[in-house]
Structure 1
Amino acid sequence: MKPVPSLWPEGLLLTYYGDDFTGSTDVMQAFTAAGVPTVLFLEMPRETDLERFKDARCIGLAGQSRGKSPEWMRQELPVVFQRLKALGAPLLQYKVCSTFDSSPSVGSIGQAIELGLHNFQSTWSPMVVGATQLKRFQVFGHLFAADKAVVHRIDRHPTMSRHPVTPMMEADLRQHLAKQTPRRIGLIDLAQIAEGQAQAQLDSSQGQDQPVIMIDVADERSQIEAGRLIWQNRGHGLFSASSSGLQYALTAFWRSQGQIPGTPALPVSSAAPCIAVVSGSCSPLSGEQIQWARAHGFLTCRLDISSCLDVTRQQAEVTRLVDMAVAAIEQGVSPLVFSAEGPDDPAVQSFDELASFAKLSRSDASERVGDALAEIMRQVLDQTRIRRIVVAGGDSSGKVGSHLGLRALTVLAGLVPGVPLCRAWSEDPIRDGLEVVFKGGQLGGADFYGLVRG
């Protein structure tokens, strides 16, 4: 394939489906900070929605496939990919987490690739997972990710190697992905990039079987080259299953060509008198963030899992926590309702047993916890004047976003890499303009909730 010129086309540059809500806002932040106007829809956009955001160069759709089965994907994703492709952007992305946590049975990235490529006649499908801005590095096909200040191989990462649903036990992403798809998987590695052989490697790897070609990203040079390879070899359109590393790579290349501002920037968020938080994450960092909040003036309230899973007691448990949160807000105190305080929390260790006692599958029990957190947030918003909220955890974010009747999000301000403060758009005037943060369990520092509150 002959590389095409670097000039931007008119209209949309990229559309994407996010496999969870937190990752979807990560993409939006990466592009918006670089000067690429982006809007994230929580439902498939209508013509009126597209007209409202007609200046957008990127359109996303927040999803929840990261926790779903291949059967669910085969039912739901084909029409999503078809409708996003019909918007006319040269790139269509299935946005995956930068820690690549997935399996053949849950959140299968391979299944999403098979479904997405049905819509394209391309001779390759690029995959970029490394994102140096998020401390994610792909080196000779192996993924590394930071935990605080220490970078770990992903299969030795203190959180991802212990993920309760999709633990990462293989660092070589080619090997990990090969368990999810029979498709040929290639790699453009750091040595080929350093030696100027990346284009030649891509040319020799492409084929009518539409292989997935991973591109190493570990520094600025490899990030720019990844962006160049994809943009100049997009042909008549590409499908890419990638993390926000795709956005960082594209913008690094566009910036090197002088097509976007030289320094990414977002407004700084202002302080809020009070915020409301719900957390369904069980990561170690989420536990530390809850502990920090407790020590710095937040009211921390635990959701009782056994009551939540019992249909005869769930409403009373929701009411109890809503009453506590509302009372705190009336006193100028920010409430934080959580279901677990890290992976070693007894609520996590006993979750399967509690689900079994309630005659629920693990998936159904998790859904019920998410529904409870979403209902708590809805009632807190209805009973107070709170205008800034945080939801921690991908599944919880999806539940809350849907429960509140939000239609779209745009970036309002920067907080930390991968986690923006968003402005909500809704047909409900009470919800319109709400300030929302959807936060992945592994992002932010221990003081993250203090940063959001300001």
Structure 2
Amino acid sequence: MKLGVIADDFTGASDIALTLSDGGMRTAQFVGIPKRTPDRDIEAGVVGLKSRTIKAAEAVEASLAACDWLIAQGCSQVVFKVCSTFDSTDEGNIGPVAAALAERLGETRVLVCPAFPENGRTVYQGHLFVKDKLLNESGMQNHPLTPMRDPDLRRVLSRQTDWPVSHLSVTGLRTNPNTALDVLAGRSMVIADAITNDDLFAIGRAAKERKLVVGGSGIALGLPENFGAEPGATGWQGHDGKAVVLSGSCSIATREQVETFRAKAPSRELAASDIMENRLSLQELVEWTLQQEQAPLLYSSAEPETVAAAQQKYGKEESSEAVERLFASLAAALSQSGVTRIVVAGGETSGAVVSGVSAETLEIGPRIAAGVPALKVAENELVLALKSGNFGGPDFFGEALSVLGGRS
């Protein structure tokens, strides 16, 4: 294994795994730290953790364990993959994890860039934009777990770590990417501007000798070339069996996708109040799902005010964990009852589903949308699509079901 990735959630893991696979590296995505030695021909290993919103100390511990495992497999470079909207709070977890990884790897200068231009995420003058809006005006300021109210990534990161935070402007990057970091003296985390994919390829060249890189999946665009890889097609066989869509994300994009899919498919809302007050029967939900002739949608996606009210009444962590437990149980029961295609929306929901179906290794298939590949669970016939909340167009659910079924 040449390149290792530690992803702070499961959708982010599949996102960057797709980028590396498209870049020509034989890539495997692991659900947590593998218990078995991976195939010898795997060039890039992506360890998916569920560490984005847990306590910072726990995130550090899990990330260091993943790092140690990747280094033991032969990796010479590690990527800490975070969300392209830099999801975190003032307590972490990006800064604490990045600092701990840098110290473990003996790195003194860490490139940090969450840019993903294909999905409208760009960094300019150290500020993160979502399409034409600053991060704090994009809807992310209403995220129920990681509200992002400051678009200046230098300030965000400075509140999370005692490492100095510096800035690599897009002008400095484009002038000479091979020596762009040389002008920055001393120990620091370096917020790098990136507006286009060409900038991300330049960051990849600048990161060639770095032991640690931090960013979204876009930062991996230029890394395969450093390892001698060339883009190539991967084989894929879908599974056109019974299917379901599970949506727990409350992002603007996902809520639009839910409404689009509801207009043409059976659907059931899993309201937080019904979950918390035990008004839902797992067996009844499974039976209802299996009775539908076309793939149905089960969703807990709701407006920010509804989510906030539920958190206020039942507790933020308690309500989130209860929703995740239900999705995990649903995924387990449905996969055991013959469902072979599951489309999932939301990072936390994806983590719950992957845990529920007891997946250990995910094989990377074709692209469904920017940042979202088709995935096959190596241990059985189940195929998945794990979508970060903000990714995909209005008809993503329908498109994902087609690709998972082997249809383009």
In the alignment, the residues of structure 1 paired with residue 152 and residue 127 of structure 2 have an alpha-carbon distance, to the nearest angstrom, of: 4
Post-superposition Cα deviations, 1:359-386, rounded to whole Å, max 9, x if no partner, equal: xx31122111101111112212222x32
In the alignment, the residues of structure 1 paired with residue 43 and residue 33 of structure 2 have an alpha-carbon distance, to the nearest angstrom, of: 17
For the pair 1:351 / 2:332, whether they are aligned, the reply is no
Per the alignment, residue 79 of structure 2 pairs with: 93
Per the alignment, residue 153 of structure 1 pairs with: 134
1:114 Cα offset (Å): 2.0
Name the SS for the 1:246 alignment partner.
Answer: helix
Which of 215, 224, 227 aligns to 2:201? It is: 224
In the alignment, the residues of structure 1 paired with residue 73 and residue 101 of structure 2 have an alpha-carbon distance, to the nearest angstrom, of: 15
Per the alignment, residue 294 of structure 2 pairs with: 333
In the alignment, the residues of structure 2 paired with residue 102 and residue 405 of structure 1 have an alpha-carbon distance, to the nearest angstrom, of: 27
Name the SS for the 1:98 alignment partner.
Answer: coil
Tell whether the 8 Å contact from 2:64 to 2:101 is kept in structure 1 after alignment. yes
In the alignment, the residues of structure 2 paired with residue 123 and residue 370 of structure 1 have an alpha-carbon distance, to the nearest angstrom, of: 38
For the pair 1:277 / 2:245, whether they are aligned, the reply is yes
Q: 1:306 to 1:220 in 2, by over 3 A?
A: closer
Tell whether the 8 Å contact from 2:347 to 2:388 is kept in structure 1 after alignment. yes
Tell whether the 8 Å contact from 2:239 to 2:340 is kept in structure 1 after alignment. no
Tell whether the 8 Å contact from 2:374 to 2:383 is kept in structure 1 after alignment. yes
Unaligned runs of 5+ in 1: 1-11, 356-360, 427-431
Name the SS for the 1:118 alignment partner.
Answer: helix
In the alignment, the residues of structure 1 paired with residue 56 and residue 298 of structure 2 have an alpha-carbon distance, to the nearest angstrom, of: 32
Tell whether the 8 Å contact from 1:42 to 1:62 is kept in structure 2 after alignment. yes
Q: 1:351 to 1:31 in 2, by over 3 A?
A: same
Post-superposition Cα deviations, 1:185-220, rounded to whole Å, max 9, x if no partner, equal: 122211112333x5555113243x3x1122221124
* 1:296-445 alignment runs, 5 A limit: 296=264, 298-310=265-277, 313=278, 316-328=280-292, 332-344=293-305, 346=306, 348-355=307-314, 361-383=315-337, 385-426=338-379, 432-445=380-393
In the alignment, the residues of structure 2 paired with residue 301 and residue 87 of structure 1 have an alpha-carbon distance, to the nearest angstrom, of: 44
1:266 Cα offset (Å): 5.8
Q: 1:63 to 1:161 in 2, by over 3 A?
A: same
Q: 1:122 to 1:201 in 2, by over 3 A?
A: same
Q: 1:306 to 1:219 in 2, by over 3 A?
A: closer
CA-atom RMSD in angstroms: 2.2
Per the alignment, residue 123 of structure 1 pairs with: 108
Tell whether the 8 Å contact from 2:23 to 2:229 is kept in structure 1 after alignment. no
Which of 241, 244, 258 aligns to 2:217? It is: 244
In the alignment, the residues of structure 2 paired with residue 194 and residue 65 of structure 1 have an alpha-carbon distance, to the nearest angstrom, of: 34
Tell whether the 8 Å contact from 2:239 to 2:383 is kept in structure 1 after alignment. no
In the alignment, the residues of structure 2 paired with residue 417 and residue 442 of structure 1 have an alpha-carbon distance, to the nearest angstrom, of: 11
Q: 1:156 to 1:304 in 2, by over 3 A?
A: closer
Tell whether the 8 Å contact from 1:125 to 1:213 is kept in structure 2 after alignment. yes
Per the alignment, residue 406 of structure 2 pairs with: none
In the alignment, the residues of structure 2 paired with residue 436 and residue 81 of structure 1 have an alpha-carbon distance, to the nearest angstrom, of: 26
Name the SS for the 1:167 alignment partner.
Answer: coil
Per the alignment, residue 260 of structure 1 pairs with: 230
Tell whether the 8 Å contact from 2:343 to 2:401 is kept in structure 1 after alignment. no
Larger Rg: 1
In the alignment, the residues of structure 2 paired with residue 133 and residue 185 of structure 1 have an alpha-carbon distance, to the nearest angstrom, of: 26
Q: 1:336 to 1:269 in 2, by over 3 A?
A: farther
Per the alignment, residue 29 of structure 2 pairs with: 40
Amino acid at match of 1:340: S
Per the alignment, residue 137 of structure 1 pairs with: 122
Which of 153, 168, 173 aligns to 1:193? It is: 173
Amino acid at match of 1:245: G
1:45 Cα offset (Å): 1.8
1:268 Cα offset (Å): 7.9
Amino acid at match of 1:435: V
Which of 15, 18, 22 aligns to 2:11? It is: 22
Identity of aligned residues (%): 26
1:68 Cα offset (Å): 1.0
Tell whether the 8 Å contact from 1:393 to 1:440 is kept in structure 2 after alignment. yes
Amino acid at match of 1:301: R
* 1:41-120 alignment runs, 5 A limit: 41-47=30-36, 49-50=37-38, 53-105=39-91, 107-120=92-105
Q: 1:84 to 1:364 in 2, by over 3 A?
A: farther
Q: 1:408 to 1:167 in 2, by over 3 A?
A: same
